[in-house]
Amino acid sequence: MDYNRITSITDPLFAHMYELLKTVFPPEEVLAFDLWKEPLEDPSIRVFVAVHEGEVVGTTEYRYYKDLNVGMTDFTIIGREGIGVGRFLATKRAADLQALAQENNKQMAGMFAEIYDPYRVDDHGFGGVKPMDPFVRREVLSHLGYKRLNFPYVHPSWQLDGTAVSGLDLCFMPADYEQTELNASLIATFLKTYYAVLPEKPDAWVEMIEQLDAKESVELLAI
């Protein structure tokens, strides 16, 4: 299996990856095809695909924020079961992020991820891809060391219409699993940076950020 980076929408592998995105995620989570041009060309955004026998069988997007010394897993898609795609992507991603942190002369403090809560939202079939079942994904991320940040979370829709998307938790995988809280200012700064690309922010998101700005820390809970 090969781990190939995509840096252009003209890369034939990108079209295959985009089909996976549309198959697995609901429309409000998928950026339009043409709008991927700039993100793919951004050196700070890492988009890789797992290629098995010439076929894109998985993909992951993530980034490392040097100033904050944290990572963010934008998404991970396992397109085929039974060939170890999940472990392959997780291992390759961890090694890449570790290298980026070392270039920054630091040990990465941890990594954010948005995780669907199937106990609140049960209408995400994820294209019928069994490894992407939200109950399975939640347990896998728990095994990896992610914890849930204890506050009501929404994010702006990637359809650029300014609506609030709920039904997810913002989670964090601390370098030290015994860590029980995270600085609220770090969370707010990260979210402001991450969603700066979206011009329309829903009122619920703005209020959430204001509440984070007023806190000192947020509790980390088991998923």
Beta partners for residue 59, in sequence order: 49, 77
Task: Report the half-sphere exposure of 65 (CA within 13 A, side-chain side).
Answer: 20
Cα–Cα distance, 24 to 106 (Å, whole number): 35
pLDDT in tens, 150-171: 999 999 998 888 899 998 999 9
80: tokens are: 């085929």
Average pLDDT of span 186-196: 96
Give the number of C-alpha atoms closer than 13 A to the C-alpha of residue 53, restricted to the C-beta side: 3
Give the model confidence (pLDDT) of 54-92 as tens digits.
Answer: 999 999 999 999 999 999 999 899 988 899 999 999 999
Mean pLDDT to the nearest integer, 4-32? 90
Among 97, 87, 111, 85, which residue's Cα sits nearest to residue 20?
Answer: 85
Return all residues near 112 (Cβ < 8 A) that are at least 6 apart: 70, 71, 72, 73, 170, 171, 172, 173, 190
**What is the spatial distance between Cα 60 and Cα 94, in angstroms, rounded to a whole number?**
11
pLDDT tens digit sequence for 87-133: 999 999 999 999 999 999 999 999 999 988 877 765 555 555 666 67
Helix (H) or strand (E) holding 1: none
Report the C-alpha gap between 161 and 204 in whole angstroms.
14
pLDDT at 28: 77
List, as own/partner pairs, every contact residues 103-107 make where C-beta atoms lie below 8 angstroms and the sequence separation is at least 24, other chains included: 104/64, 104/66, 104/69, 106/69, 107/175
Query: CB atoms < 10 A from the CB of 19, how many?
Result: 13
Q: What is the second-level CATH architecture of the domain 2-222?
A: 3-Layer(aba) Sandwich (3.40)
Where along the chain do its domains lie?
2-222
What is the pTM assigned to this prediction?
0.87
What is the arithmetic mean of pLDDT over 174-180?
95
User: CA 171, CA 112: separation in Å to the nearest integer?
Assistant: 6
* pLDDT for the residue numbered 93: 96
d(CA 23, CA 43): 26
